[in-house]
Amino acid sequence: MTSFDKTGTIPPTGSEARGDHAHDHSHDHSHDHSHDHGHDHGHDHGRAQARAAAAACCATPASAPAVALAASTGTRLVVHIADMDCPAEENMIRSGLKRVPQVRELGFDLMQRVLTVEHAEGARDIVLQALRGLGFQPRMADEVPTAAAPARQGLVRIVAAVALALGAEISHWLAAPEWLVIVLSLGAILSGGVQVYKKGWIALRNGQLNINALMSIAVTGAVLLAQWPEAAMVMSLFSLAEWIEARSLDRARNAVDSLLKLVPDDVLASADGRGWRRLPASQVQAGWSVRVAPGERFGLDGQVVEGLSAVNQAPITGESAPVDKGPGDEVFAGTINGMGELVYRVSAAHDDTLLARITRSVQEAQANKAPIQRFVDQFSRVYTPLVVMAAVLMAVALPLVWGVSWLDAVYRALVLLVIACPCALVISTPVAVVSALASTARAGILVKGGVYLERARQLRYLAVDKTGTLTLGQPALDVYGSLREGVTDEQVLDLAVALAERSDHPASQAIARGRHASGLAGLEQFEAVAGHGVQARGLNGALRLGKRSWVLEGADRAFLSQAEQQALESGASMVYLGDDKGLLAWFAVLDTLRPTTAQAIAALQRQGVQVEILSGDHEQAVRHVAAQAGIADYRAGLLPQDKLERIEQRLGQGLVAMVGDGINDAPALARADVGIAMGALGSDIAIETADVALMDDDLGKIALLMRQSQALHRVLWQNISLALGIKAVFLVMALSGQATMWMAVFADVGASLLVVLNSLRLLRARH
């Protein structure tokens, strides 16, 4: 389990803190592990490597992941496999390694082409040999090649194959010698199809019917039927379309890695604060100092030690306004410095910055599949064998029943085989999900999986904590007043600040914040009395700041003034100042509403969401905040188990979400259908338990999350309808003999391209 600090992060694949989710509408963590040689287990969050299927089959090798891979150990192997970019390859590896007794568990990250194998001690070479026997080339992280050269080489071969196939077609039309047509066709098939045949043979050997196996059978059948030009054109067009599809899918893959491109490659750093050198950000260690000039991006996370400036944190939190930063304030990699120079002390290495962890979290979020995605995976496992059986039946039945020639029947069956590949259907969901996840991350919403993003559109009941969620979570002095004639409000404030500056109590800090004592009150013999307040001796005797009953001890009781009554009714915490003669003044400390709260609640209510406050605070405070926020339903004085019980009461009445920031919110966050944590101020356990984190603590992002979920749902069903509709049309055409093999290639790969391009629209969502 990766431990994240409370500055607004999320663990990569969920949280061990989530506990038991066995209720009927539980969080469906579908990490697809092969445990005990292939059995799936869904709640092993600590070791889960996310499954992502947003890559085209037969894509060209990609560069290494932008975020460093997890390290291999004595019993864990982490490798990059360039050809593992499609569920077909995953199934092949899963079935192949299932036969290796030393393998205990598998984790697939198809988006980054990373395989994690938990194995017995000393079995690494056996696992690597098994992978190579399946036709894959596993590489360690530092051995991964860049993508540019292989991509260019692949394109040259494909262009040559298409040119030769066109030459074969033209020669056939012009009635050229048969040997010329055969030579050109063979050249096209070998130029564009060697890898296809290689992968197809390995798939068939392992009992897999993926697109490579189906295409190899179809092209071979066309050759045996002496359809040389068509066999050449089918193979070359398939290879070209797959190359284009892979380039399109790289946009979805790179949408996540592009987050890290916000970070500069090098920074001006110093190990001792004196000798400044420009170094790669990856070489700078925690504890070093980094200087960032006006207008530059921060290369690492850290804490400001010198300078004042306004920092644009939009790349991390989605905040539209710059945030003032000074000594002691945290800064994050990828954010943009304003007009002042800053020096900050590095707090995290390059691969452990908040931005890197956000990137890793989005990459791994595919482990929690959306319900539609799981349905598509199950459907495709049944669909392909059925269509293959239909093709075989067609080849046999058409000649025997309808009198179609054997050659024509076999040809139609081969066309049906090409159409049978479910690639367009399989990639229709994960590409859309990862695009939506990347888009929401750029908006400052971190979602742990597609299941939660797809669910959010169904939100009907939202429970919200008060302190730190609806309010800023930081008490502030609201109003105050003198209670003794001849003593002004300014004088009592000076005395109170002089006492409060030496106290660490939140109410005292609220009084002292933003103002310094003027020096009129020279105090000595300062003492903090636990549970009561602080006291000291001044020029005119003893002074006390704290609870009313304690301050009034030994003095006459006083009635509450009208102003005090109003402050109490508004939910303020009261602090009193007194001396040997009695009360001097009262101070009302109030946790103020976030500026965006009322607008955010109104937006949710317009979308049909019932909002209720669940707070442990006293009745008056909760009532006052509820009135300010425009929330009619609220419950006060709740313990953590009370919040949990209220969530359980609402389950089954539409989607239930809980928003919180504290440890006391963790049980309710875990039990809700979707748990949402305040990412900036939230406690570690709240953030780890939740399914979604709002990086800038803006409740308005929940309505945005719902809109993004609705957009994702529309695109998912558009993709599924498109993929199945195109295949249905060509299945009918194949049965009636109206479809040719090259048309089937366009139907299959064209459908894949269409669903990919449709999914990429989610990357351009406006926030």
Give the active site residues.
465
DSSP H helices, 258-353, are 314-317
Pairing of strands 302-306, 330-331: antiparallel
- Sole residue written with tokens 């431990």: 3
Task: Give φ, ψ of 591 to 5 degrees.
Answer: -80, 115
- Sole residue written with tokens 């229709």: 428
Contacts 24+ apart (CB under 8 A), 156-160: 157/191, 157/192, 157/239, 158/191, 158/192, 158/236, 158/239, 158/240, 158/243, 159/240, 160/187, 160/191, 160/192
Burial bucket for residue 96 (CB in 10 Å: 0-12, 13-18, 19+): buried
Residues recorded for the chain: 767
Cα–Cα dist 405/627, whole Å: 80
Q: Answer yes or no: are the C-beta atoms of 112 and 359 closer than 8 Å.
A: no
DSSP 117-176: EEE-TT-HHHHHHHHHHTT--EE-GGGPPPSHHHHHHHHHHHHHHHHHHHHHHHHHHTT-
Give me 229's structure tokens: 């030009």
Q: Answer yes or no: are the C-beta atoms of 461 and 648 closer than 8 Å.
A: no
Residue whose C-alpha is closest to residue 598's, from 499, 695, 525, 699: 699
Cα–Cα dist 129/137, whole Å: 10
Q: Answer yes or no: are the C-beta atoms of 347 and 4 closer than 8 Å.
A: no
Within 8 A by CB and 6+ apart from 400, the residues are none
Element at 603 (helix H, strand E) = helix 597-606
Give me 394's structure tokens: 């067609």
